[in-house]
């Protein structure tokens, strides 16, 4: 089949590699222009290395963008991690239209941080959807879906890189084949089941140590590795990773006031919370220093019984 790929970054590159590896004709790659000083887009680099025509257009809404796609005379447009708005006048140009990847089980979790929010909200299952893009955000008809469990200690990183990423590449190939063979079906999304969440960024990723242990654990793993759940230590922002939940089963399991350090052991820090403990493995400063959680809090001059967001106690100096 003859296709155009619209996308960017590692997922876009993986989709390009997959179609080329099996001998499909990739007429061109559309990717967004890179901002000054930004890292080179892996999709653009891969397309150029393989001699695939590369178009970096400021938007996909112009007559020029539509004409560029029309001139390619492709069977299908493959949308792999697209942040630019692609209107109906653009995506319906190929003979068989376009398909788009979204890393959630639509219509749930429409929006740009669709992998973060299911973990943050404690879901036990997520998945991916290949759908027909329309002018609504993630609202088009569904072609196929794949599911995957969310395990208790999964993070955004494990769910995406270990499962939704490779599953998504394979699903793009499968959906394209079904469409070209005329064997696909399309179903309208059920608006009664729909939900939309916006970006998960720093305002959403700040830890509330007064929250339940389950909620704190889910926030940390849902932001691991990005954007990184965070707290303040000595007025500096610190990002927290490698969370494990230790539920309290009885009163004797309660190890301190919520938000205080209950133990420092084995390179890890245990934080007392409502309903249990959260064990933290790693911390990172906004200056990029990555340390074990135990080393980080010790350097900050904190010990058992101290609150993470408090100033170090008088007379206790951070280790050099």
CATH of the domain at 254: 3.10.25.10
Closest CA to 280 of 313, 242, 308: 242
Rg, C-alpha atoms of the chain: 23
- Cα dihedral 156, 104, 122, 165, rounded to 10, equals -20
Q: How far apart are the C-alpha atoms of 237 and 205, rounded to whole Å?
A: 12
Q: In this model, does residue 97 exceed pLDDT 90?
A: yes
Q: Are 52 and 164 in a shared domain?
A: yes
Residue 155 sits in a domain whose CATH number is 3.40.50.170
User: What is the number of structural domains in the chain?
Assistant: 2
And the tokens for 313? 């106690």
Residue 253 belongs to some domain of the structure: yes
Average pLDDT over residues 98-119: 98
Q: Give per-residue pLDDT as tens, 234-269.
A: 888 999 999 999 999 999 898 999 999 999 999 999
First to last CA, the chain: 61
Q: Are 166 and 227 in a shared domain?
A: no
Q: Are 147 and 239 in a shared domain?
A: no
Q: In this model, does residue 190 exceed pLDDT 50?
A: yes
Q: Residue 320 has what pLDDT?
A: 31
For residue 271, list its beta bridge partners.
Answer: 261, 278
Using CA atoms, how far residue 150 sits from 90, 134, 205, 220, in Å, is 36, 29, 20, 14
* Confidence band for 315, pLDDT divided at 50, 70 and 90: very low
Q: Residue 19 has what pLDDT?
A: 98
Q: Give per-residue pLDDT as tens, 274-301.
A: 999 999 999 999 888 899 999 999 999 9
Q: Are 7 and 156 in a shared domain?
A: yes
And the tokens for 306? 């101290």
**Domain ends where: 141, 164, 193?**
193
Q: How far apart are the C-alpha atoms of 34 and 158, rounded to whole Å?
A: 27
Q: Are 238 and 178 in a shared domain?
A: no
């Amino acid at each position: 089949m003859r296709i155009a790929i619209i996308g960017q970054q590692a997922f876009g590159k993986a989709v390009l590699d997959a179609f080329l590896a099996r001998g499909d004709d990739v007429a061109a790659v559309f990717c967004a222009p890179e901002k000054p000083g930004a890292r080179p887009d892996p999709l653009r680099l891969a397309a150029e290395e393989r001699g695939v025509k590369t178009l970096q257009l400021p938007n996909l809404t112009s007559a020029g963008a539509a004409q560029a796609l029309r001139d390619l005379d492709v069977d299908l447009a493959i949308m792999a991690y697209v942040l630019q708005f692609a209107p109906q006048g653009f995506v319906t140009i190929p003979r068989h239209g376009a398909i788009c990847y979204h890393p959630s089980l639509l219509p749930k979790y429409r929006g740009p941080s669709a992998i973060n929010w299911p973990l943050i909200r404690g879901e036990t299952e997520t998945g991916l959807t290949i759908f027909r893009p329309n002018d609504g955000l993630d609202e088009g008809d569904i072609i196929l879906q794949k599911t995957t469990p969310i395990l208790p200690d999964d993070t955004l990183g494990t769910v995406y890189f270990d499962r939704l990423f490779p599953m998504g590449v394979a699903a793009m190939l499968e959906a394209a084949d079904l469409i070209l063979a005329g064997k696909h079906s399309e179903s309208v999304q059920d608006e009664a089941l729909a939900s939309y969440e916006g970006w998960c960024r720093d305002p959403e990723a700040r830890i509330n140590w007064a929250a339940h242990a389950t909620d704190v654990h889910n926030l940390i793993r849902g932001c691991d590795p990005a954007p990184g759940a965070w707290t303040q230590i000595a007025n500096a922002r610190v990002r927290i990773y490698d969370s494990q939940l230790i539920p309290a089963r009885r009163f004797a399991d309660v190890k301190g006031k919520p938000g205080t350090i209950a133990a420092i052991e084995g390179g890890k820090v245990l934080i007392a919370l409502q309903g249990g403990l959260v064990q933290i493995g790693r911390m990172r400063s906004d200056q990029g220093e990555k340390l074990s959680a135990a080393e980080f809090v010790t350097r900050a001059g904190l010990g058992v019984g101290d609150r993470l967001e408090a100033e170090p106690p008088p007379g206790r100096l951070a280790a050099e």
